[in-house]
Amino acid sequence: MNAFILPLAIGAPQIILIVVVILLLFGGRKIPELMRGLGSGIKEFKDASKDDENPATTDDSKKVPEENK
């Protein structure tokens, strides 16, 4: 069981290595733009998941009115 958990353990050296690789790949000027995009994507995902949790609320303005015969 421990053989499966061991590779998933992320410590400070691994995080530092990941940060260095990201800096090398994207450069210091591109990082804030990437983080803004990531933040807006997470926000959109949360908003969409909130909409899915409450399907009982519907928008009546989208319904087509029935014609009286």
Instruction: Provide block-wise average pLDDT over 10 residues at a time, the chain (69 residues).
Output: 66 90 88 90 92 61 58
Residue 63 lies in a domain: no
Which stretches within 1-69 are classed as H helix? Answer: 2-5, 12-26, 31-53
Residue type, 37: G
Number of domains in the chain: 1
| C-alpha span between 29 and 36 (Å, rounded) | 12
| C-alpha span between 69 and 66 (Å, rounded) | 9
**What residue numbers bound the domain in which 37 lies?**
14-51
Residue 61 lies in a domain: no
The whole-model pTM stands at 0.47
Q: In 3-state terms, what secondary structure has residue 34?
A: helix
